[in-house]
Structure 1
């Protein structure tokens, strides 16, 4: 997946359900560790709350290695997992949801908790500003000086970026393109007998 939506900024909504106050927060995150850091920060910021439940998709939407969730003291399966299910269904990546609960004295029951925690995330996502994240792969390309202008033109057509340029007896380029555009760009290069070399990360 080379393009997917991510949160544009921090976002928060609040609900009161049977006297319990639920604060649902959405954060953009860079990775698993970043998500865990924010969870700890929010626990410290709301020390008097009963629960700080969370779920995150800290990488691309389909990267299960970057999933995580916590019920934080609520009955198992009633908070973090339903929250994660909403995030997965949204198609968002690099996103963390935290639901902070101030207990109001009335128990919600298993079904009520699932509905409250999942519903809070759904409500927050309805008004969450998002931006598109484009995943680019790095490539190397060597060309002659007289070919460089044409290559720059095609790079603009295919939304590519020149990261580095080395001028020696020829021009050596370090490029960044997304998967779809790199294939089209590579086909253009074949007409000039040039080959795009993918860098392994």
Structure 2
């Protein structure tokens, strides 16, 4: 499968929660952005500590891995196998969110829901919450640097931004150093644009890659 170069993830430093009730059982869904499997498990433990008297703390998460397929994990946490974690993970996958974790806390209401009822309840709890999650887009960018004289810097920066080229950084020393970001495979077009703007004077230098959020 091709490497992922762009995906949606929850906004940083926020937590979302919602509650759903069926046959006196309370289902509290909580979602947050996570950047590693370890961080996801820390989030799950945090939710367990917040609701220590609940019977179940079922979970699912998807975490991006550079150069590989995302890590996907789920847990039924004592519910019958396949009735909680997998339906939750399926909902998360269907939302297209990555670097996301969701925990559904269940307070048992005394009425058994059956396997089908549990699948529906956990799916509904997550499906009700995910549309509330604010999203950002994370895209892989190739980075390039170039330096120009101070007299040309202002005009060049305005021209670059006007053409939709991402100017990641501008640093001033004896000359002005620009760091530019383009989508993978965009070097040739960037070089052509710069050649036109600087009469061939500016030379691009590769500066690695980085993930950029927008």
Two-structure CA RMSD over aligned residues (Å): 2.9
Q: Is the 8 A contact 1:138 1:174 kept in 2?
A: no
Evaluate the alpha carbon distance shift between residue 81 and residue 190 of structure 1 in structure 2; reply closer, same or farther with a 3 A threshold: farther
1:11 aligns to what?
16
Q: Is the 8 A contact 1:165 1:172 kept in 2?
A: yes
Q: Is the 8 A contact 1:140 1:199 kept in 2?
A: yes
Q: Distance in 1 between matches of 2:194 and 2:54?
A: 59
Evaluate the alpha carbon distance shift between residue 154 and residue 199 of structure 1 in structure 2; reply closer, same or farther with a 3 A threshold: farther
Q: Is the 8 A contact 1:99 1:117 kept in 2?
A: yes
Structure 2 gaps of 5+ residues are: none
Structure whose residues are more often strand by fraction: 2
1:113 aligns with 2:118: yes
Q: 1:77: how far off? A: 1.5
Alignment partner of 2:168 out of 162, 166, 175: 162
Q: 1:75: how far off? A: 1.7
Residue 65 of structure 1 aligns to a residue whose secondary structure is strand
CA distances 1:140-166 after superposition (whole Å, capped 9, x unpaired): 322331553344124423252333636
Q: Distance in 2 between matches of 1:5 and 1:65?
A: 13
Q: Distance in 2 between matches of 1:178 and 1:112?
A: 48
1:144 aligns to what?
148
Evaluate the alpha carbon distance shift between residue 154 and residue 182 of structure 1 in structure 2; reply closer, same or farther with a 3 A threshold: farther
2:206 aligns to what?
197
TM-score normalised by structure 1 residue count: 0.81
Residue 70 of structure 2 aligns to a residue whose secondary structure is helix
Q: Is the 8 A contact 1:138 1:199 kept in 2?
A: yes
TM-score normalised by structure 2 residue count: 0.76
